[in-house]
Homo-oligomer: A and B are copies of this chain.
């Protein structure tokens, strides 16, 4: 859906890389996340502060090769390292279709997929993945297991003003974001985690170091440019505001879809979402998910 916006922007976010740039594994040796490009860190902070969708200033930023890698890094960092049994990982159904595969594919002895959080019988510690707005159905979510020893990972890929009202800045221990859902650059494979605890951030960084020795510098530098452009578009009235433009695209698509369904089919209905006041757009907005999940 984002292509029309970026085509309209033309060459405003062109980025040129020379053969001699970014040769090193390192981006900033003084940073806990030593492969995070300083410019990307700066633009991530700027964007969250501008949109107001997450508290960023007292969190560490860990960059990942998309949020898939960050989910694994979070599990690695948050799982007890020396238990005889892997910790259970749950999420409330309907959940993102890839979660089970991402958690189980190498049969880790640290963590294992345990399915629908609604049916989970808690017994000691567990990890709950909370996707809000949810993929695939757009619902705003909170943890459902509610156990004392629950470790929570908040996947906030869709918590942006084009999809839903920004009702308050999220302020959780581990929050995951990705450019594929925020800017539309799925091919870049750039995600980031906001992590409150220093040791958790350090272990997540270690995961990236072992699994891929960091994250592509080219992709980080381009993401920085694009996030910067989005910030500029919110502040400069001569530019099309990225969120307003894409919010309109989402509204139009959902309107067309609702009309088609209404006119042609009486066997199913599309979900309804509550109107909520969005602090960023200063208007009431209902969620317009980037995915569609139909209940028959």
Question: Which A residues have a C-beta under 8 Å from some C-beta of B?
Answer: 2-3, 6-7, 9-20, 22-27, 65-66, 68-69, 72, 76, 98, 101-102, 105-110, 180, 184-190, 207, 210-219, 221-222, 225-226, 229
Contacts and interface: CB of A to CB of B under 8 A. Distances in A.
Nearest to A178: B213
Contact of A108 (B3, B69, B106): B106
Nearest to A35: B187
Contacts of A69: 211-212
Contacts of A14: 16-19
A9 B180 CA distance: 34
A226 B7 CA distance: 27
A13 B26 CA distance: 21
A189 B210 contact: no
12 contacts: A24-B186, A24-B187, A68-B213, A106-B108, A107-B108, A107-B109, A107-B110, A108-B108, A109-B109, A188-B216, A188-B218, A218-B221
Contacts of A185: 22-23
B65 A65 contact: yes
Contacts of A101: 210
Contact of A15 (B6, B16, B68, B186): B16
B13 A19 contact: yes
Contact of A66 (B20, B213, B229): B213
A106 B110 contact: yes
